[in-house]
Structure 1
Amino acid sequence: MSSAPALDPVIRHLYVHVPFCPSICPYCDFHVLTRRAGLVERYLAKLDEEAARLADTYDTQLDTVYLGGGTPSFLRDAELGALVGSVQRHLGWGALENTLEVNPGTVSPERAALWRTLGLGRASVGVQSLDDATLKFLGRQHDAAQARSAVSTLVDAGFRVSGDLITAVPGQPLDADIHGLVELGVGHVSAYTLTVEPGTEFARRGVTVQEDDERAGFERTEELLTAHGFERYEISNYARPGEGSRHNLSYWQGRTYLGLGPGAAGHYPATPGADGRWLMADGEKILSVRRTNPHLHEWLAGAVGEDEGVGAEDYVTDALFMGLRLRSGIDLAGLSRRSGIDVRERYRSPLAHNVSRGLLALEGDQLRATPQGWWVLNRVVTDFLET
């Protein structure tokens, strides 16, 4: 294969992390914290500085911007306006899609109209459930009525709306949750199994998720949403035609993107070091660079994340892990061109092994996970890592 992989040197996607939340959910292990006097102002000032630095460093022509967290919609109107202004002034704005993560308790018709005037056209709403008992168990601050009202308000304001659901919650009326969300007019649903991460409140309380419940929720969600005309285009994401998340596709397709804000992760084109080399310590060529920013207080003090060079084999296994999450799978010929590795030859053994087990399907150059393979995807990708 050629040693000159064809990674796009232009960055077309931006993730902005807003770490502030009204409260911390017991299952959450993201970098979030409650706001304190003066902290948001310092955050916004530093964010503006970082946006300017990224603009000076990278060639950026944005297609998508994603404001995540945390709870970006928890920012006051003037604060959110300042954040959007910093992004637009230094980096531009998404030509195809601009998403705001929304907590149902922060929505009003007036705020939805303001968000639209700021150039935000897609809302990802943390519904989680439309059942009050389930929401209480999850530690959510909103109730089902607020969730319904928020989604309806955003749909009426002209947003493309995605609703988040958490499945496999004890006692959850999943069928009613899904039917109710569809009836509210969302075009996209993200359905994630409840996961108990170390260090969370749920972990300290000994909450567990039964595999049978996880599997049942995994299968029932697809059954109901596909019956309503949604396509399962990624393991945990369903969309009506044209309603898939363009921003999240950049992750699943292995594209480069900027990470702005404390705790934000970015995937950047490789640039030569001070000595003009594009090599890692072991002599392997760097294809791209991953960087995760430090948490808020270190970030405010000027700390920066360490660059991690991504070589060809790491790029391939990362791309397989993310790309196989998509129903369409991944084009091995394109992956070979980008990485400089003949993927079919290099990974002949794990490809044949997992195809024979019915976990992967290979049609021409298109490799995809089967429904059975989706369920054990971590195990499938481990076969490639160990080759």
Structure 2
Amino acid sequence: MTAPVLPPSDSTIRHLYVHVPFCPSICPYCDFHVLTRRAGLVEAYLERIETEAAELAARYDVDLDTVYLGGGTPSFLRDTEITALVGSVRRHLGWGRLENTLEINPGTVNAERAALWRGLGIDRASVGVQSLDDATLKFLGRTHDSAQAKAAVTTLLDAGFRVSGDLITAVPGQPLEADIAGLVALGVGHISAYTLTIEPGTEFARRGVTVEEDDERAGFERTEELLTAHGFERYEISNYARPGQQSRHNLAYWGNRFYLGLGPGAAGHYPAQENAGALLGQRRTNPHLHEWLTGAVGEAQPIDAEEYVTDALFMGLRVQKGISLSDLTRRSGLDVESRYAVPLKANVARGLLALEGDTLRATPQGWWALNKVITDFLED
């Protein structure tokens, strides 16, 4: 093992995720840290955001390229509240030079609000469409209907946003072809398509809702066929884009870059602190709202060279273009091709990975079995 070579610019944090946990209602499939608003909670949240943003600015070298306001439903914040939130970020951490995204529920959009968000410096909208079929939306527990979703996308495009639409696939009875054709026809430049997953502890799990693996895989494969036919490029397992419309923020995650996590339940990937020896970084997830409001922080999880490599492989193999093994060797100080020769050769032989020169990619079959592929590396 050689010493890792991390240029100074690599330890500068260029990406920020802000978690807004408030939602008008909780969807039955959701297992994120979300809650409905109660008297005084949003005000307390905004005060703590101001303090935490200042703490992060004092601790790290920050020069932002992207900001992502996620949730929850950030667009559920009132106009004065989202203005205050963006103000806290700008005061202490700056703003993204390349891309600034807001997650949006279609029921929260009108022309005046879209203009406000653009005026705050938000230029990309990630809209939770989920489906354009009213029966499917009702089954998913969404509070908007298809007409509201279409109107929201049109309003945001007219206001000058780059718009991404979220879809959930493998929903029983869903007209997938019509959903995709309808969303494409609206003019979005990016589509995130996720198969319905039943997570423990959710309302769907309590109801006994299930998704058959065959249906999940069929939705996964049919989505690619349809979106590719419409001129979208699948650049990541669940993400499709027209040229120039890829999510720059999410590409930072998949590239295993450092990013700040601001807000309750927010995860961050940070450079190693001084005198950290062979450690290359640390990950930390903030506690949930009520504990976070007291000033509590999540426990740091140190990242050594092997953890750095397996993290980078797990994220990088999600992306169509794959990952450079020589770059990963340079960053980690670990000879990746030699250290992981056994799982590399085994998964190439199984047709799950492809090694072309220096580039390691997951095949279409490997994308479906990516968790198993990464387990082989972790167990090696």
How many angstroms apart in 2 are the aligned matches of 1:113 and 1:213? Answer: 40
How many angstroms apart in 2 are the aligned matches of 1:215 and 1:289? Answer: 34
What's the CA shift for 1:301?
A: 1.1
What's the CA shift for 1:5?
A: 3.2
Q: Kindly provide the CA deviation profile for residues 281-337 of structure 1, in whole angstroms up to 9, marking residues without a partner as x.
A: xxxx21001000000000001111111101110111111011000000100000001
How many angstroms apart in 1 are the aligned matches of 2:142 and 2:301? Answer: 36
Measured on the aligned residues, the alpha-carbon RMSD in Å equals 0.7
Q: 2:12 aligns with which of 1, 5, 10?
A: 10
How many angstroms apart in 2 are the aligned matches of 1:359 and 1:2? Answer: 29
How many angstroms apart in 1 are the aligned matches of 2:157 and 2:4? Answer: 46
How many angstroms apart in 1 are the aligned matches of 2:113 and 2:90? Answer: 20
Q: Kindly provide the CA deviation profile for residues 85-107 of structure 1, in whole angstroms up to 9, marking residues without a partner as x.
A: 00001000000000000000000
Are the counterparts in 2 of residues 166 and 191 from structure 1 also a CA contact under 8 Å?
A: yes
Are the counterparts in 2 of residues 5 and 287 from structure 1 also a CA contact under 8 Å?
A: no
Are the counterparts in 2 of residues 27 and 200 from structure 1 also a CA contact under 8 Å?
A: yes
Letter in 2 for 1:216: A
Which residue in 2 is equivalent to 1:223? 225
Which residue in 1 is equivalent to 2:244? 242
- Structure 1 residue runs of 4+, over 4 Å off? none
Secondary structure class of the residue paired with 2:334:
coil
Q: Kindly provide the CA deviation profile for residues 28-84 of structure 1, in whole angstroms up to 9, marking residues without a partner as x.
A: 000000001111011001000000010000000000000000000000001000000
Secondary structure class of the residue paired with 1:95:
coil
Q: Kindly provide the CA deviation profile for residues 220-243 of structure 1, in whole angstroms up to 9, marking residues without a partner as x.
A: 100011111100000000000000
TM alignment of 1:309-320, pairs within 5 A:
309-320=302-313
TM alignment of 1:300-315, pairs within 5 A:
300-315=293-308
TM alignment of 1:369-380, pairs within 5 A:
369-380=362-373
Are the counterparts in 2 of residues 360 and 369 from structure 1 also a CA contact under 8 Å?
A: yes
Letter in 1 for 2:16: L
Which residue in 2 is equivalent to 1:214? 216
TM alignment of 1:1-387, pairs within 5 A:
1-6=1-6, 8-272=10-274, 277-279=275-277, 285-387=278-380
How many angstroms apart in 1 are the aligned matches of 2:371 and 2:88? Answer: 38
Equivalent pairs: percent with the same residue?
78
How many pairs align? 378
Are the counterparts in 2 of residues 19 and 70 from structure 1 also a CA contact under 8 Å?
A: yes
Letter in 1 for 2:5: P
How many angstroms apart in 2 are the aligned matches of 1:43 and 1:304? Answer: 14
Q: Kindly provide the CA deviation profile for residues 171-218 of structure 1, in whole angstroms up to 9, marking residues without a partner as x.
A: 000000000000000000000000000000000000000111111111
How many angstroms apart in 1 are the aligned matches of 2:311 and 2:12? Answer: 20
Are the counterparts in 1 of residues 4 and 334 from structure 2 also a CA contact under 8 Å?
A: no
TM-score, normalising length from structure 1?
Answer: 0.97
What's the CA shift for 1:4?
A: 2.9
For structure 1, list consecutive stretches of 5 or more residues without a partner in the other structure.
280-284
How many angstroms apart in 1 are the aligned matches of 2:371 and 2:137? Answer: 29
How many angstroms apart in 2 are the aligned matches of 1:386 and 1:301? Answer: 39
Letter in 2 for 1:34: T
Are the counterparts in 2 of residues 256 and 269 from structure 1 also a CA contact under 8 Å?
A: yes
Letter in 2 for 1:4: P
Secondary structure class of the residue paired with 2:57:
helix
For structure 2, list consecutive stretches of 5 or more residues without a partner in the other structure.
none
Are the counterparts in 2 of residues 256 and 268 from structure 1 also a CA contact under 8 Å?
A: yes
Which residue in 2 is equivalent to 1:282? none
What's the CA shift for 1:2?
A: 2.6
